[in-house]
Amino acid sequence: MCLSENLVLIITSLFLGATALLAPWVAELLKRRWYAPRLEIQFSEEAPYCHLTRRGNGSPVYYFRFRVVNEGGSQARLCEAILEAMATADASGRYVPEPNFSPMPLTWAGIGAGYIAINPKRPYFCDIGHISEPAFQAANERSIYVGITPDQQSQLKFKFDTPYAFFSQWDSLVPGRHKLTVGIYSENAHHVSRTFNIAWSGKWQVAERDMYREIVIT
């Protein structure tokens, strides 16, 4: 066998070996690109995102939530919804971020806080917060934030739907204009986030069409 034939055999062997090693990696790369989970956050200030319901005791309460949909080709694993940041408009209209805000998990509607798996095209709703009727909130939902004033404590508030709260930061929104940023994290999908602009008058209305003039979320 001549030198050129040996060289051809060596190159061919190296090529086949490299192909064997790279094939699984390329297949996995293509799978991730074409079949990877892809999460989207959807919202509209209308049912079923926002709606009036009642507690077990008959007390009315408005819930405000967004929807997470997996538009990819495979399951998104260990998905968690997080309230990431909060900002409030000052007298000049400039939004001032809450300093040292600690991210908190939000609750999946009907499930609770924690991790869930989201199959392709399967939507899940996640609660941002709720507004209870004034008598119920005054008796059961006082804010634990140490920085709240007596006047703010007496106002009707938009309560965050988190499994716990910190004394060091807001657990609700008082009347005013605010921004809330929420994010979805997953083991195998890219992080997605969305910022909600909330204008809240602090006034309770029995009819949904009237309530959605008192609180506007975009």
Whether the per-residue pLDDT at 101 is higher than 70: the answer is: yes
Question: What is the full DSSP assignment across the chain?
Answer: --HHHHHHHHHHHHHHHHHHHHHHHHHHHHHHHHH---EEEE--SSTTTEEEEE-TTS-EEEEEEEEEEE-SSSPEEEEEEEEEEEEEE-TTS-EEEPTTPPPEEPEETTTBSS-EEE-TT-EEEEEEEEEE-HHHHHHH-----TT--HHHHHS--EEE--S---TTS-SEE-SEEEEEEEEEE-SSS--EEEEEEEEE-----SSHHHHHHHEEE-
Residues 89 and 142 in one domain: yes
Residues 25 and 91 in one domain: no
35 or 42: whose pLDDT is higher?
42
Residue pLDDT, tens place only, 191-208: 999 999 999 999 999 999
175 or 4: whose pLDDT is higher?
175
Residues 77 and 58 in one domain: yes
pLDDT level of residue 6 (50, 70, 90 thresholds): low
Residues 3 and 82 in one domain: no
Residues 8 and 49 in one domain: no
Residue pLDDT, tens place only, 106-145: 999 999 999 999 999 999 999 999 999 999 999 999 999 9
Residues 3 and 88 in one domain: no
* Residue 197 structural domain: 38-217
Sequence-ordered list of residues with C-beta below 8 angstroms from that of 33, at least 6 positions apart, any chain: none
Residues 114 and 163 in one domain: yes
CA–CA gap between residue 99 and residue 189 (Å, rounded)? 29
Q: Are strands 60-70 and 50-54 parallel, antiparallel or unpaired?
A: antiparallel
CA–CA gap between residue 8 and residue 6 (Å, rounded)? 5
Residues 84 and 120 in one domain: yes
Residues 71 and 148 in one domain: yes
pLDDT level of residue 26 (50, 70, 90 thresholds): very low
Residue pLDDT, tens place only, 144-187: 999 999 999 999 999 999 999 999 999 999 999 999 999 999 99
Residues 47 and 20 in one domain: no
Residues 156 and 131 in one domain: yes
Rounded mean pLDDT, 11-15:
60
CATH number of the domain that residue 103 is part of = 2.60.40.10
How many percent of the chain have pLDDT more than 70? 84
Rounded mean pLDDT, 28-43:
78
The domain total for the chain is 2
Sequence-ordered list of residues with C-beta below 8 angstroms from that of 49, at least 6 positions apart, any chain: 43, 64, 65, 66, 67, 125
Q: How far apart are the first and last CA of the chain?
A: 76
* Mean confidence (pLDDT) of the chain: 91
174 or 6: whose pLDDT is higher?
174
CA–CA gap between residue 119 and residue 107 (Å, rounded)? 18
Residues 139 and 175 in one domain: yes
